[in-house]
Amino acid sequence: MPFEVLEKVLSVILSLMILGNFFLARVFVGTYLNPASLFSLFWFLYSFVPLVFLFDVPINSLSILYILTCCFSFLLGMVFFDWKKALYLNRQKEDIFPGYLYSKENRYIFYCLFFVVMALAVVDIKMQGFDISDFFFNYYESANRFMRLRYEHDVIVNFFGQASVVLNYALVMLGGVLAYCCKSGGKTIAILALLPSLIMTASQGAKGTILLSVFLFYGAILLARVFANDLVITNKRTNRYLILFTIFLVVVMCISFVSRGLYEYSSIEALMQKLIYYFNSYAFAHIYAFSDWFSYYVGAPHIMNYTDKHEIYFGFYTFMPIFEILGSSITVPDGVYDEYFYFSDVFTTNIYTVFRGVILDFRLIGSIVFWFILGLVAHLSYYFLLTKKMPIFSAPFFVVLFGFYYTSFIISLFIWASIGASLALLSLILFVNKYKFLSGRQK
How far, in Å, CA of 331 to CA of 278, rounded? 28
pTM: 0.93
Q: What is the pLDDT along the chain (443 residues), one digit of tens a residue?
A: 588 899 999 999 999 999 999 999 999 999 999 999 999 999 999 999 999 999 999 999 999 999 999 999 999 999 999 999 999 999 998 778 877 888 888 899 999 999 999 999 989 888 888 887 777 777 777 777 787 777 777 788 888 989 999 999 999 999 999 998 887 888 899 999 999 998 888 777 677 888 899 999 999 999 999 999 999 998 877 787 778 777 777 777 776 666 666 556 667 777 788 888 988 998 999 999 999 999 999 999 999 999 887 788 999 999 999 998 888 888 888 778 989 999 988 999 999 999 999 999 999 999 999 999 999 999 999 999 999 999 999 999 999 999 999 999 999 999 999 999 999 999 999 998 888 877 766 55
Number of domains in the chain: 1
| Ramachandran region, residue 353 (left: φ > 0; alpha: ψ -120 to 50; beta: rest) | left
Helix (H) or strand (E) holding 342: strand 341-343
SS3 32: coil
- Residues 42, 339: contact at Cβ < 8 Å? no
Q: What is the DSSP letter of 282?
A: I
- Render the burial of 148-180: b for 16+ CB within 10 Å, e for the rest: ebeeeeebeeeebbebbbbbbbbbbbbbbbbbb
How far, in Å, CA of 166 to CA of 25, rounded? 33
SS3 347: strand
- Residues 101, 224: contact at Cβ < 8 Å? yes
Which range marks the domain in which residue 12 is found?
3-442
How far, in Å, CA of 358 to CA of 192, rounded? 36
Closest CA to 376 of 159, 142, 136, 75: 75
How far, in Å, CA of 54 to CA of 73, rounded? 28
Residue 95, CB-side half-sphere exposure with 13 Å CA sphere: 7
- Residues 198, 245: contact at Cβ < 8 Å? no
